[in-house]
């Protein structure tokens, strides 16, 4: 697979798992056998290109656990979207974490980023994938790797969702990773990256509990700052709007929406929910720990009390197909 190419639908599909299925797929990359789990919505047809959501589990998790805990398959069924869950083997990391903190796994065309994009392209060869609607999301270490993918492959991913994760380049070794997780210290040097257009960082939605004792909540601020920094030099101005609220179960949150304001485009009080120029959302979950907000209790690292991060991420994703120049 060409790591610089973007996924696309094809008329010569290699193999298609049946609609409504959730199957393990064997995948060989760089001479090594890997596995991923793929959800195909019930209404899938070869004639209708579908959105694809790449879901990266956290440490100690696996695709089955992550799918159950997030409930993404049910949400994807309603949106007629495919969901790809790569499996991180313990041979690659003893705790099944994605190695977001190692330089070899932070660059386009290398390590785990290249592997994950190769999986995306494999799915696009098996099913009808809309190349303008490919998204990456993850929890914790998976969220940090999703941030890496957004930075390194803005030509592949139309938007990125990070739950309880860290900024791409937040650490360059395990010691620094543990420090960033614990203290939320802003990285002093973020390594240059190999994306074809560094200023084209995709739209970003971030969730983080302000009582998270595993990954400090300041990391979510750095994530958003890095995404907005990629817009520097643009004629657009960035505006923010903070909206307090609470889930049905009573967990409070503050949702901050960041959007472009181009001359003559957005007026004060505009509805940012439907504004096509929204570039980021930052959800601070008050009192929440290191867990997927609104997740199912039968999955690990979930908080059923919270707003549904799954529904909100999917809403954000589908509102942000890839546009010309990105």
Q: Are 326 and 137 in contact (CB under 8 A)?
A: no
Tell which wins on pLDDT, 35 or 263. 35
13, pLDDT greater than 80: no
Q: Which regions of the chain does DSSP assign to beta strands (E)? A: 22-29, 32-39, 50-56, 82-86, 129-139, 159-163, 204-209, 237-246, 252-261, 278-285, 292-293, 302-303
Q: Tell the CATH superfamily of the 22-233+291-318 domain.
A: Alpha/Beta hydrolase fold, catalytic domain (3.40.50.1820)
Rounded CA-CA distance 272/197 in Å is: 26
Residue 260 pLDDT: 75
Average pLDDT for 229-233: 63
Phi, psi angle pair for 215, to nearest 5°:
-125, 115
3-state secondary structure of 133: strand
Domain regions of the chain by residue span? 22-233+291-318
Q: For the chain, what percent of residues have pLDDT higher than 90?
A: 76
Could you read off the pLDDT of 307-316 as tens digits, one per residue?
A: 999 999 999 9
Split at pLDDT 50, 70, 90, the class of 124 is very high
| pTM for this model (two decimals) | 0.89
105 vs 264, which has greater pLDDT? 105
Does residue 99 have a pLDDT over 90? yes
Contact 293, 163 (CB under 8 A): yes
Query: Residue 275 has what pLDDT?
Result: 43
- pLDDT higher than threshold 50 for residue 271: no
What is the pLDDT, as a whole number, of residue 8? 46
Give pLDDT, residue 201: 85
């Amino acid at each position: 697979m060409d790591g610089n190419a973007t996924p696309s639908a094809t008329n010569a599909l290699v193999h298609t798992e049946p609609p409504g299925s959730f199957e393990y797929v064997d995948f060989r990359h760089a001479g090594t056998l890997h596995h991923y789990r793929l959800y195909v919505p019930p209404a899938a047809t070869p004639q209708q290109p579908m959105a694809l959501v790449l879901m990266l589990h956290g440490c100690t998790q696996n695709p089955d656990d992550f799918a159950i805990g997030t409930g993404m398959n049910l949400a994807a069924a309603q949106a007629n979207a495919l969901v790809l869950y790569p499996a991180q083997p313990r041979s690659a990391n003893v705790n099944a974490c994605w190695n977001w903190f190692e330089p070899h796994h932070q660059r386009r065309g290398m390590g785990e980023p290249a592997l994950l994009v190769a999986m995306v392209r494999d799915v696009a060869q098996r099913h009808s994938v809309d190349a303008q609607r490919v998204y990456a999301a993850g929890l914790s270490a998976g969220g940090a790797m999703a941030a890496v993918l957004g930075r390194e492959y803005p030509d592949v991913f139309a938007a990125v969702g990070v739950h309880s994760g860290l900024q791409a380049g937040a650490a360059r070794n395990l010691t620094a990773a543990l420090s960033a997780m614990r203290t939320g210290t802003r990285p002093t040097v973020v390594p240059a990256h190999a994306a074809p257009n560094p200023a084209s960082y995709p739209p970003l939605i971030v969730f983080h509990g302000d009582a998270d004792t595993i990954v400090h909540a300041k990391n979510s601020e750095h994530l958003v700052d890095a995404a907005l920094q990629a817009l520097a030099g643009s004629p657009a101005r960035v505006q923010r709007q903070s909206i307090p609220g609470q889930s049905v179960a009573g967990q409070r949150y503050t949702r901050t929406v960041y959007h472009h304001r181009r001359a003559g485009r957005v007026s004060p009080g505009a509805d940012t929910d439907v504004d096509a120029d929204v570039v980021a959302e930052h959800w601070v979950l008050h009192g929440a720990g290191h867990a997927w907000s609104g997740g199912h209790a039968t999955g690990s690292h979930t908080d059923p009390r919270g707003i549904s991060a799954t529904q909100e991420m999917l809403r954000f994703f589908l509102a942000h197909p890839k546009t010309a120049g990105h």
